[in-house]
């Protein structure tokens, strides 16, 4: 990977002499108390401002402050006019726009496109405090408030919309967020390196239109820079019989010890990658042709390793959306310094007395890493944070535990989580950095764990033991998602986890039992779950504890048939599981599974017009049925399930014996109007509520 300056090596901006603010200001009155006449950067966010390292606006705000910039926060501004965007005055450098910790559409709508009745990132969980597609709306209002001020968009919503993408809520392929927001720059992925560089360049007078060389950024342009080579995406993976590797998991010469070997048909070699840009099919093409959409998705995901990714470009009309390669991962030293910035670890004082569910859930948790090399097709972590794990040091984590003990409001001695995107990928990485830099696999653990992956859980075990030994700490729980296929490689880790870090229940996500859906999810077979459960039960018994696994499953994922869901329901019944909460597949922008949902094709393999067709669950009736099968024990679902089983020729599963899935009788007072009978609200067909009409609706 190319060398980059240390994140904290820049000469600080002049305002560093003012020192850190007790909390970043959200009003002019607070700016006056700090002695500020203006802000250098104003961050606009769809979340309430929580000064905690688990909240993106706080991380970026405190990081820029550490570089000497005065940062203000516009928290959940009234987007119905530009007036509230003038609350802190005109920023000297730029507006930084984010929807918040969640995509605004995922935050506002359920998988059935129904308005949610609450918002965990808003005081008192009040719904309706952010608009649909918040990044676009906020950017437009900021531009209206102060013309000529650069607008930089980022966060997960912008990151997942950096090229033409399928939008589930409108059932359309939408343009890049750059086009709709009219922003000057889009920062995708982990934003720290790019946002610091942008701030320093703007501070020294560089026009934002000239900032075009930063990794992890996207922008609009009309021409090809001098000295660059343009490659069509069909040279990488043409929708036809040209590409050698039909399966991304076949042996690949890029995944060995020869980093200069190309995985393409011919040049350019890696030495040319720095000045090669790959042209994806245009927005107009992917909107019109599902095959080209699936092809673009495949090529996009093949160009996500910072060690070998090339720039990408996609035409939108007469302009190109240009994506530089992903950012270089942060070092442990850089990550440590970020997490040890002077966070108050609590919501802004303006919200005093209000309940903030998202903060309450994580306020006593510790993030120990970023990224995920699992590559699950329905998940957006990889697209946003990358596959290379970024680790904090053991010493920094232990210092933060002490900080939580001493300063966190309401702390009673229990750390609620030591984790991140996953619980047990801390310090796991490729055994050879040269192999890691050359690899183009989509996952390090599917269809099996890569032989080049270090799976030693020893450092994590030692971290757990040292964390438990911190004075004043009564208990350390692990709540992040566990990769049980990795954990079974280290029985000692499972013993440590089960003996000391499980609070009676451990959530785990096998997602399905059947090979068809699992192959489209890139998840391990149910056998890995069975092996983990056997060890979990064994070590729980040895510890004298009665503990249980709580499995999570997904319905309606691409590749899932009704018969698959029946088999899953039978498995649940055999194993005595009665799920209270179930998850229906929700296609998020850029995810591979979303490309499957939209196109009916499988981008995990070579995309052809005669490619494998993927079964897709679209209609509300079938989605409702698959969800009901996960809750086979609920009498309200029995009429629907009996009819479906008869239609499927599986009436043998209706009866009152142990081998039956649903009984033949119906309890009085149950089985009325089926859940979801009413039509869902389409996000594209409703008005965004105005400030005067924001009323939460009950979840149906």
Q: At what angle do helices 592-599 and 290-302 cross, to 10 degrees?
A: 170
**Statement: the pTM of the whole predicted model exceeds 0.95:** no
| Tokens coding 623 | 């989605």
Is residue 33 pLDDT above 90, yes or no? yes
Q: In angstroms, rounded to a whole number, what is the distance separating the alpha carbons of residues 259 and 262?
A: 8
The residue-averaged pLDDT of 579-587 equals: 91
The pLDDT assigned to 382 comes to 85
| pLDDT single digits (tens) 275-297 | 999 999 999 999 999 999 999 99
Is residue 263 pLDDT above 60, yes or no? no
Binding residues: 372, 376, 379
Is residue 56 pLDDT above 80, yes or no? yes
Is residue 699 pLDDT above 80, yes or no? no
Is residue 140 pLDDT above 60, yes or no? yes
The pLDDT assigned to 672 comes to 65
Instruction: Assign 3 a pLDDT band (cuts: 50, 70, 90).
Output: confident
Q: Residue 153, preceding bond cis, omega within 30 degrees?
A: no
Q: Which of 220-224, 266-270, 335-339, 492-496 has the lowest mean pLDDT?
A: 266-270
> What DSSP string runs through 382-409?
HHHH-SS-EE--HHHHHHHHHHHHHHST
Instruction: Assign 272 a pLDDT band (cuts: 50, 70, 90).
Output: confident
The pLDDT assigned to 1 comes to 61
Q: In angstroms, rounded to a whole number, what is the distance separating the alpha carbons of residues 592 and 293?
A: 11
Q: Which of 45-54, 208-217, 379-388, 593-602 has the lowest mean pLDDT?
A: 379-388
Is residue 676 pLDDT above 80, yes or no? no
Q: In angstroms, rounded to a whole number, what is the distance separating the alpha carbons of residues 425 and 444?
A: 11
Query: Are 67 and 93 within 8 A, CB to CB?
Result: no
The pLDDT assigned to 692 comes to 34
The pLDDT assigned to 264 comes to 34
The CATH code of domain 503-679 reads 3.30.750.200
Q: What proportions of the chain, in percent to the nearest 5, are helix, strand and coil?
A: 35, 15, 50
Is residue 234 pLDDT above 80, yes or no? yes
The residue-averaged pLDDT of 414-431 equals: 97
The CATH code of domain 364-501 reads 3.30.750.210
The H-or-E segment that residue 518 falls in is helix 515-521
Instruction: Assign 582 a pLDDT band (cuts: 50, 70, 90).
Output: confident
The pLDDT assigned to 2 comes to 66
The pLDDT assigned to 610 comes to 83
The pLDDT assigned to 674 comes to 45
Output DSSP code: residue 415. Answer: E
Binding residues for [4Fe-4S] cluster: 372, 376, 379
The pLDDT assigned to 684 comes to 41
Is residue 46 pLDDT above 70, yes or no? yes
What CA–CA distances, in Å, run from 659 to 176, 312, 551, 569? 51, 54, 22, 12
Q: Which residue has the higher pLDDT, 158 or 675?
A: 158
Instruction: Assign 273 a pLDDT band (cuts: 50, 70, 90).
Output: confident
The pLDDT assigned to 105 comes to 98
Q: What are phi and psi of 73, to 5 degrees?
A: -120, 125
Q: In angstroms, rounded to a whole number, what is the distance separating the alpha carbons of residues 442 and 447?
A: 10
Q: Which of 60-64, 168-172, 269-273, 334-338 has the lowest mean pLDDT?
A: 269-273
Q: Which residue has the tokens 């948790």?
A: 365
| pLDDT single digits (tens) 391-415 | 999 999 999 999 999 999 899 999 9
The residue-averaged pLDDT of 644-650 equals: 97
Q: What average pLDDT is seen over the chain? A: 91
What CA–CA distances, in Å, run from 368 to 116, 417, 425, 644? 31, 10, 10, 46
Q: How many CB atoms lie within 10 A of CB 541?
A: 12
Instruction: Assign 109 a pLDDT band (cuts: 50, 70, 90).
Output: very high
Is residue 252 pLDDT above 70, yes or no? no
- Kindly compute the dihedral angle of the four CA atoms of residues 290, 293, 298, 301, in this order, to the nearest 10 degrees: -150
Q: In angstroms, rounded to a whole number, what is the distance separating the alpha carbons of residues 300 and 326?
A: 11
């Amino acid at each position: 990977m190319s060398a980059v300056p240390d994140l904290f090596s820049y000469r600080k901006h002049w305002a560093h002499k003012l020192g850190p603010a007790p909390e970043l200001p959200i009003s002019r009155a607070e700016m006056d108390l700090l002695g500020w006449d203006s802000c250098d950067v104003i961050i606009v966010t769809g979340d309430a401002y929580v000064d905690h390292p688990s909240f993106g606006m706080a991380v970026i705000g405190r990081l820029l402050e550490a570089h000497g910039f005065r940062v203000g926060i516009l928290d959940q501004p009234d987007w119905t006019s530009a007036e509230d965007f003038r609350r802190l005055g005109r920023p000297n450098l730029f507006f930084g726009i984010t929807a918040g910790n969640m995509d605004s559409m995922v935050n506002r709508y359920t998988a059935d496109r129904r308005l949610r009745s609450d918002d965990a990132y808003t005081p008192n969980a009040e719904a309706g405090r952010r608009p649909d597609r918040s990044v676009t709306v906020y950017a437009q209002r900021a531009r209206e408030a102060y013309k000529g001020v650069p607008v930089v968009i980022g966060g997960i919503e912008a990151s997942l919309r950096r090229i033409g993408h399928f939008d589930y809520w409108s059932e359309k392929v939408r343009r890049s967020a750059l086009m709709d927001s009219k922003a000057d720059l889009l920062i995708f992925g982990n934003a720290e390196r790019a946002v610091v560089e942008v701030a320093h360049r703007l501070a020294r007078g560089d026009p934002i239109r000239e900032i075009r060389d930063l990794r992890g950024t996207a922008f609009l342009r009309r021409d090809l820079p001098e000295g660059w080579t343009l490659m069509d995406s069909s040279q990488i993976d043409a929708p036809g019989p040209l590409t050698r590797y039909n399966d991304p998991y076949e042996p690949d010469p890029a995944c060995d010890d020869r980093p200069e070997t190309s995985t393409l048909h011919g040049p350019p070699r890696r030495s040319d990658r720095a000045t090669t840009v790959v042209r994806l099919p245009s927005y107009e093409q992917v909107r019109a042709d599902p095959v080209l959409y699936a092809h673009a998705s495949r090529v996009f995901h093949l160009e996500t390793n910072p060690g070998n990714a090339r720039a990408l470009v996609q035409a939108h009309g007469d302009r190109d959306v240009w994506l530089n390669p992903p950012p270089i991962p942060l070092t442990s030293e850089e990550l440590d310094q970020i997490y040890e910035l002077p966070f108050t670890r609590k919501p802004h004082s303006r919200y005093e007395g209000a309940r903030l569910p998202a903060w309450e859930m994580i306020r006593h948790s510790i993030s120990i890493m970023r990224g995920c090399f699992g590559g699950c097709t329905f998940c957006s972590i990889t697209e946003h944070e990358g596959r290379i794990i970024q680790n904090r040091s053991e010493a920094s984590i232990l210092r933060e535990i002490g900080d939580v003990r001493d300063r966190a409001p309401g702390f009673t001695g229990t750390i609620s989580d030591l984790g991140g995107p996953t619980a047990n990928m801390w310090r796991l990485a490729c055994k050879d950095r040269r192999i890691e830099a050359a690899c183009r696999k989509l996952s390090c653990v599917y269809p099996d764990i890569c032989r080049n992956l270090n799976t030693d859980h020893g450092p994590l075990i030692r971290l757990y033991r040292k964390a438990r030994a911190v004075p004043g700490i009564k208990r350390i729980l692990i709540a992040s998602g566990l990769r049980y296929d990795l954990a079974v490689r280290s029985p000692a880790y499972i013993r440590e986890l089960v003996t000391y870090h499980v609070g009676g229940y451990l959530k785990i996500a096998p997602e399905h039992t059947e090979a068809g859906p699992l192959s489209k999810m890139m998840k391990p077979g149910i056998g890995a779950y069975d092996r983990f459960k056997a060890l979990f039960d064994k070590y729980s018994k040895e510890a004298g504890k009665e503990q249980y696994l709580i499995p999570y499953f997904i319905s309606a994922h691409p590749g899932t048939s009704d018969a698959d869901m029946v088999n899953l329901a039978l498995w649940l019944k055999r194993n005595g599981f009665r799920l209270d909460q179930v998850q229906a597949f929700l296609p998020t922008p850029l995810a591979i599974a979303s490309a499957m949902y939209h196109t009916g094709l499988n981008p995990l393999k070579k995309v052809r017009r005669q490619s494998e067709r993927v079964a897709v669950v679209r209609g509300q009736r079938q989605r409702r049925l698959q969800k009901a099968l996960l809750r086979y024990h609920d009498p309200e679902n029995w009429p629907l399930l009996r009819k479906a089983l008869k239609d499927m020729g599986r009436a043998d599963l209706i009866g009152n014996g142990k081998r039956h899935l649903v009984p033949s009788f119906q309890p009085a007072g149950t089985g009325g109007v089926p859940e979801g009978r009413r039509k869902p609200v389409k996000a594209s067909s409703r008005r965004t509520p105005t400030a005067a009409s924001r009323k939460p609706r009950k979840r149906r």
